[in-house]
Amino acid sequence: MLKFAMPGPYCVMFAGQSIQESGMCRELWRIPAARRVLERLKPSLGADLESITTEMPNGELALTFNAQRAIHAHHLGNWFAYGAAHPGLELSGAIGHSMGVVAALVAAEALSVEDSGTFIRARAQSFSEVCKTFTEPMGLAAVSTDDFQDVVDELAAVEGVSVALHNTIGRGTLGGTLKALEAFSRHADEEGWPVKAKILKVEGPYHTKAFSPCRPALAKAAAALKIAAPKVPVYMGTSGAAETDPGRIRELIVAQADSCERHLQAVRAAYAGGCRNFLEAGFKPQPVTWLSDQLRADDGALLPGVSALAVKTEDLGR
C-alpha cells in the first residue's frame, strides 16, 4: 500500500481523455489562481470554455472536441491553483497520460500556457475530424487482467484490434471497431482468460493507426510552438522514456496520435530516474492511483521509497 507523500520534490502527473465529467471545473473558476490561467486559455480553447467546464452535460462533454479542451483546462487550473498554494514547490519530473503530456510540458516549463492551449485546440479539432470519417462505429475497450502483456501477446488471434494504451501491469486499452472489440471479449470468454473488458465512451480508437490522418495538422501546429528544454525530465508515453530535447518532444507530440501510449513504461522510467514522490491534483485524481500496479517488483512488492499524493480540486479552494 502506498504511503502518503512526504514533502517533494514531486513528479507531477496529469490524466488523459475519459476523465471528463460535467461540472469538473466549477470549483476552479472560483479560485483566483485557477481562474487567471483559465482566462489565459480562452483565446485558444474557446470563449465557451467556462460553460463546457462547468455546465455542459456528460453526453456533449464526451465528444472529442469538447473533452480534450475541458480536460486541458482542468489540468492547468488545478496545477496553477496547487502551485499558488504551495510556493517553492520542487519537481523531479512530469508525466502526462496521453493528452495530459501537454500539461506536463507546461508544468516542466517547456511550453507556455498560451502555446499549450493552441496545440490542444489543434489536437482536439484534428481528432474530432478524423472521428467523423469512420464508416462504422469505432472505439476503445479498457481491459483489466493479471498481466496485460499476456493480452498483448494473444491479440493476433483477434483481427482488427490493437493495443492503444498500456497503463499498468494489469490494465491497458485496446482500440478498433466496436465489432472487433466485442469479438475480442467473446474470444477471451471462450478461452477462459481472466480478463474484464469495458467499452469506453469515446468517439474513436485513439493511439492507433486510425488516427494517422491527424499527423499533418498536428505537425503544422507543433512547428509553430516555442518549446524550451524542460526544467525537469518529461516522461512521455509515446517513447516510454525521459525526454528533455525540444526537437524530440516536438516529434513525439505529433507521433502520439497514432502510437501506442506506453504509460507504464514512462512511470517506470521516472522511478529509474530517481522520482519517488508522485503528485496529482484534479477533480478525481486518476494516474496517481495506479502507482501500486506500476511500480512493483517481480515478487509483487511495491518498489522502495514510493509515495503518492492525490489532491482533489475541492481541497484547493479551502
Cα 42 to the chain's mean position, in Å?
A: 21
Enter the C-alpha cell of residue 163. Answer: 493495443
Helix (H, G, I), strand (E, B) or coil at 69: helix
Provide the Cα torsion 52, 53, 58, 64; round to 10°. 70
Enter the C-alpha cell of residue 164. Answer: 492503444
Strands 3-4 vs 307-312: parallel, antiparallel or unpaired: parallel
Q: Closest Cα to residue 207, out of 105, 123, 107?
A: 123
Exposure string (b/e) for 198-227, b if CB count within 10 Å is 16 or more? eebebbbbbbbebbeebbebbeebbeebeb
pLDDT digits (tens, 9 = 90+) for 106-158: 999 999 999 999 999 999 999 999 999 999 999 999 999 999 999 999 887 78
pLDDT at residue 212 is higher than 60: yes
Cα–Cα dist 162/155, whole Å = 7
Residue 157 has a pLDDT of 77
Strands of the 171-177 sheet, one edge to the other: 161-166, 171-177, 138-144, 196-199
pLDDT digits (tens, 9 = 90+) for 83-99: 999 998 999 999 999 99
Strands 138-144 vs 171-177: parallel, antiparallel or unpaired: antiparallel
Residue 1 has a pLDDT of 39
Dihedral sign from CA coordinates of 260, 261, 263, 266:
positive
Residue 226's contacts (CB-CB under 8 Å, 6 or more residues apart) are 111, 112, 115
Length of the chain: 318
Q: What Rg, from alpha-carbon coordinates, does the chain have? A: 19
Average pLDDT on 254-264 reads 98
Q: Is there a contact between 309 and 4 (Cβ–Cβ < 8 Å)?
A: yes
**What domains sit in the chain, N to C, each tagged with a CATH number?**
3-132+208-316 (3.40.366.10), 138-199 (3.30.70.250)
Amino acid identity, position 73? A
CA 229 vs CA 101, 103, 106, 127, 244: distances in Å: 15, 15, 11, 27, 6
Q: Is there a contact between 204 and 124 (Cβ–Cβ < 8 Å)?
A: no
Q: Is there a contact between 121 and 44 (Cβ–Cβ < 8 Å)?
A: yes
Whole-angstrom distance between the N-terminal and C-terminal Cα of the chain?
A: 28
Q: Within 10 Å of residue 87's Cβ, how many Cβ atoms? A: 6
pLDDT digits (tens, 9 = 90+) for 294-303: 999 988 899 9
Q: Is there a contact between 260 and 166 (Cβ–Cβ < 8 Å)?
A: yes
pLDDT digits (tens, 9 = 90+) for 20-70: 999 999 999 999 999 999 999 999 999 999 999 999 999 999 999 999 999
pLDDT band at 6 (very low <50, low <70, confident <90, very high): low
